[in-house]
Amino acid sequence: MPVVPLKEIVDRAFAERYGVAAINVVNDLTMEAVLAAAVEQRAPVIIQTSVKTVRSIGVDLLFAMWREMTAGIEVPVALHLDHCPEREVISVCLQTGWNSVLFDASRLPVAENQRQTIEVVAEARSFGASVEGEIESITGVEDGVGTDEEADRESLPVALEFIRTTGIDVFAPAIGNAHGVYQAEPKLDAQRVSDIVAAQPIPIALHGGTGMTDAQFTDLIARGCAKVNISTALKITYMKSNLAFLRQAEERGKWDPPSLFTAVRADVMAMAADHMRRFGSVGKAW
């Protein structure tokens, strides 16, 4: 099963109540390692790119990497653009072949966000792509997007009206979750997920996955969080793995880059596989 529309991946996960790991990658090594973990675990996976990563690597090179690495892949995978406030970047990624985008207009008043999200959904549909939407910014700055201030949550009727009117495929509500490292166990408003899903059965994206407990994942996934976002855990694993290897290399006076890549790849694969297990998506590939 090759690259599929993101909607297909999250709809199945939502129906069967497991979570699909949606992991932000930062370069070729991490993209390959997360895909390899998905193949090894027979799990569907969503590869996410921030706007910063799109800019640092370049749209064409990033997509060429994706195309090569997923050619003939045996598990369902999709490429998703994470938090993107810029319409031009959304258009370029959709034209290039991304399977899904998160149009992040959460800084705009809901009515304007809704108006523009309708346009993004129409644009995405013309490429067979999916759209994730949000009406409150998720706390924390990630790759230069967002704010550390916790946003006020909109009412249930406002959220439902946004979901129905825009026709988005995935909804990302603020539930007390945050990007980055939690200083204390987050207090999550799981009931909000249940209220939204009961009124409008739509797969929910759980942002700020790094640092949540197994109990929180299990509960939220059972309530309808079908897409679980992980970014900080990959960044930490990647950098700590490099650091540990380089410290050893210095001690031993051995400088062999391919061995570094092999060690870091193994650690990133283990991190990704661990999340797939915790989200219940192992063996769910079709």
Q: How far is the CB of 24 from ligand 13P (least distance, A)?
A: 6
Q: Is the distance from CB of 42 to CB of 285 less than 8 angstroms?
A: yes
83-to-23, 71, 104, 134, 139 alpha-carbon distances in Å: 13, 26, 5, 9, 12
Q: Identify whether 148 is a catalytic site residue.
A: no
Q: Which of 53, 106, 229, 241 binds ligand 13P (CB under 6 A)?
A: 229
Give the span between the Cα atoms of 26 and 261, in whole angstroms: 14
From 11, 28, 60, 82, the catalytic residue: 82
> Which is closer to ligand 13P, CB of 46 or CB of 196?
46
- Ranges assigned E (strand) in the chain: 20-24, 45-49, 77-84, 100-103, 130-133, 170-171, 204-206, 225-230
Q: Which stretch binds ligand 13P (CB under 6 A): 115-123, 159-167, 228-236, 278-286?
A: 228-236
Q: Given the complex with ligand 13P, which of 121 and 138 has the nearer CB atom?
A: 138
Instruction: State which of residues 137, 139, 216, 231 lies at the interface with ligand 13P (CB under 6 A).
Output: 231
DSSP assignment of 153-208, as one string? PPPHHHHHHHHHHH--SEE---SS-BSS--SS-----HHHHHHHHHHS--PEEE--
CA angle 78, 76, 232 (to 5 degrees): 50
For the bound state, the minimum distance from the C-beta of residue 181 to ligand 13P, rounded and expressed in Å, comes to 8
Q: Contact at 8 Å (CB) between 44 and 8?
A: no
- Decide whether 97 or 180 has the Cβ nearer to ligand 13P: 180
Within 54-93, the residues that bind ligand 13P by CB under 6 A are 82-83
By CB under 6 A, the count of residues binding ligand 13P is: 15
Of 52-60, 66-74, 194-202, 223-231: span binding ligand 13P (CB under 6 A): 223-231
Determine whether 195 is exposed, middle or buried from the number of CB atoms within 10 Å of its CB (0-12, 13-18, 19+).
Answer: middle
Among the candidate windows 27-35, 91-99, 208-216, 259-267, which touches ligand 13P by CB under 6 A?
A: 208-216
Q: Report yes or no: 6 and 100 within 8 Å, Cβ to Cβ.
A: yes
Q: Which two tokens stand for residue 105?
A: 């207009």
Helix, strand, or coil (residue 112): helix
Beta carbon of residue 179, minimum distance to ligand 13P (angstroms, whole number): 4
Residue of the chain from 11, 132, 136, 142 that contacts ligand 13P (CB under 6 A): 142
Position 11 contacts ligand 13P (CB under 6 A): no
Between 106 and 232, whose beta carbon lies closer to ligand 13P? 232
Tokens matching residue 234: 């990959």
Binds ligand 13P by CB under 6 A, chosen from 233, 272, 273, 285: 233
| Identity of residue 177 | N
Residue from 85, 167, 180, 186 binding ligand 13P (CB under 6 A): 180
Q: Is 167 in the site for ligand 13P (CB under 6 A)?
A: no
179 binds ligand 13P, rule: CB under 6 A: yes
> Which residues participate in catalysis according to the annotation?
82
Residues that bind ligand 13P (CB under 6 A): 24, 82-83, 142, 179-180, 207-210, 229-233
